Amino acid sequence: MKPQALAIRADNLTAILKNLGELYPELKTRTQKTETGEAHTLEFQTEDQAATFMELLNVNQNLLYFAPREHIETDENFRQLLPYVLVYGSDEGSVLGYNRPGKGKGEDRLKGAFSIGFGGHVEIKDWYMDMSATDLLSACADRELAEELGENACQQVPRLPSAILIDDTNPVGRVHLGLVYQTTVKGEFNIDSTEVENLVWLTRKEVSEGDRSKTQNPENWTAMLLNIPLPGVVTT
């Protein structure tokens, strides 16, 4: 079977986000404008906001489906939902960064880029009968961390995201939706070198100030999280 990924029609996602904005007009949104479009970071400041967004996905789960990646990777009528996990040190004072390998598997358009987000596409193997969207996305996040950093390297990912990344500035961003989660280190890393290279710890200050000596060539989702305070931790 050809690789498939969890997706939603872009217009249906827009409707869900509009509903969320009407329920929470105070929802914090950071917008970065470029010549090619806008990138939006929606930050959940309370667990209630995050839970409501996930519940909107849950009650509209009929709008989510698995589709062949070869079709939806270039079709801007769809958005693929991806967990994007920030890994903190045990004291939550530092954030783990890495480079995506320049060769091998992975998104060709991101090869060699610097990232502070671990994760990947939600696959059919992440799903089981009657599973909610909330549990499906967090299960995918846990699987991706185990594949990229090793079994038991990190604490279990919380069920709720802390932010949403919507990047309309480039072809990769226009067909994906990033759900930002956080976790902390629990054990030793067992790195899959085909997924992750050049691990580096950054302080929160280095991230929030966008220290380019350690964050050169950031992929867009990471760039959206640089130069701003990292999203607050949602622990549920």
> Tell me: the pLDDT tens digits for 78-91?
999 999 999 998 87
pLDDT for residue 9 is more than 90: yes
Question: What CA–CA distances, in Å, run from 173 to 93, 121, 123, 148?
Answer: 29, 13, 19, 22
Does domain 4-225 correspond to CATH entry 3.90.79.10?
yes
Both tokens assigned to 95: 């954030």
Between 15-24, 73-82, 150-159, 194-203, the lowest mean confidence (pLDDT) is in: 194-203
How high is the pLDDT of residue 208? 74
How high is the pLDDT of residue 130? 81
Q: What is the pTM of this model?
A: 0.91
How high is the pLDDT of residue 184? 92
More confident residue, 76 or 112: 76
Question: pLDDT by residue (tens digit) across 135-167?
Answer: 999 999 999 999 999 988 999 999 999 999 999
Mapping DSSP to helix (H, G, I), strand (E, B) and coil, where does residue 69 land? helix
Question: pLDDT by residue (tens digit) across 88-103?
Answer: 988 777 899 998 876 5
pLDDT for residue 211 is more than 70: no
Task: Check if the beta carbon of residue 157 is closer than 8 Å to that of residue 135.
Answer: no
pLDDT for residue 213 is more than 80: no
Task: Please state, in angstroms and rounded to a whole number, the distance separating the CA atoms of residues 173 and 39.
Answer: 9
Query: Is the CA virtual torsion 195, 115, 27, 73 positive or negative?
Result: negative
Residue 61: burial class (beta carbons within 10 Å; 0-12, 13-18, 19+): middle
More confident residue, 219 or 192: 219
Task: Please state, in angstroms and rounded to a whole number, the distance separating the CA atoms of residues 111 and 27.
Answer: 33
